[in-house]
Amino acid sequence: MFKVYGDYRSGNCYKVKLMLHLLGKPYEWVPIDILKGETQSEAFLAKNPNGKIPVLELEDGTCLWESNAILNFLADGSEFLPSEPRLRTQVLQWQFFEQYSHEPYVAVARFIQLYQGMPEARLDEHARCLALGYKALKVMEKQLQRTPYLVGEQYSIADIALYAYTHVADEGGFSLEAFPAVRAWIERVASHPRHVTMLG
Ligand SMILES: N[C@@H](CCC(=O)N[C@@H](CS)C(=O)NCC(=O)O)C(=O)O
């Protein structure tokens, strides 16, 4: 059985939980409190030297880290990861986009607002996150006006990677009012029969 070290409120950890539910794979969830510094303990750093969750521990003790890498591992051979090279590369394209142009703003704005309660010292950074986060949402909106999922017709791990923080973007101060295609996609993803919510 898989072990997932994570925090239920973290979008990066939710990606792994959602994937496991969609695949119907059993797992044990080991709660990690980042605010208490549990990712920096020696025992945890032996699992992920970068001191971050999520970590997926396999039965043989192998520890995989980086949420989108974990998604690729879990989805291998399933309907959520196309085998055709161009489509597979487009999945990776959206996942790299998520890590470089979306998560650093949409997730960080949420961290500052939800976890930290908007400290004075981070207000400027929060405003910058909103500006750059909206830029990323516009990129998604353009694609989703053309196709039901980020990579064409098929629900893939590109969608899981981007759904995780987009569907709770309001908790970081974003409004999705101007993004109707993104809102319709959020409903589409959530309507999958094996969907599980972040806190569910
Ligand atoms: N690129 C990483 C980011 C992971 C990450 O930032 N995790 C946060 C929680 S969402 C964390 O562990 N923060 C604790 C820390 O940095 O000490 C991934 O996608 O897995």
Q: Which pLDDT tens digit goes with each residue over 140-164?
A: 999 999 999 999 999 999 999 999 9
Question: Ligand 1 site: residues with CB under 6 angstroms?
Answer: 10, 12, 34, 39, 51-54, 66-68, 99
Q: Residue with the nearest Cα to atom 12 of ligand 1?
A: 52
Task: Give me 142's structure tokens.
Answer: 């353009």
Beta bridge partners of 7: none
The number of angstroms, rounded, from the C-alpha of 59 to the middle of its chain's C-alpha atoms is 24
Task: Give me 135's structure tokens.
Answer: 């830029």
Contact residues for 193 (Cβ-Cβ < 8 A; gap 6+)? none
pLDDT of 5-57, one tens digit each?
999 999 999 999 999 999 999 999 999 999 999 999 999 999 999 999 999 99
The single-letter DSSP state of residue 117 is -
Task: Give me 121's structure tokens.
Answer: 């010292």
d(CA 145, CA 95): 19
C-alpha angle 26-111-145 in degrees, rounded to nearest 5: 75
- Order of strands across the sheet with 55-57? 27-31, 2-6, 55-57, 63-65
Domains and CATH numbers, the chain: 2-75 (3.40.30.10), 85-190 (1.20.1050.10)
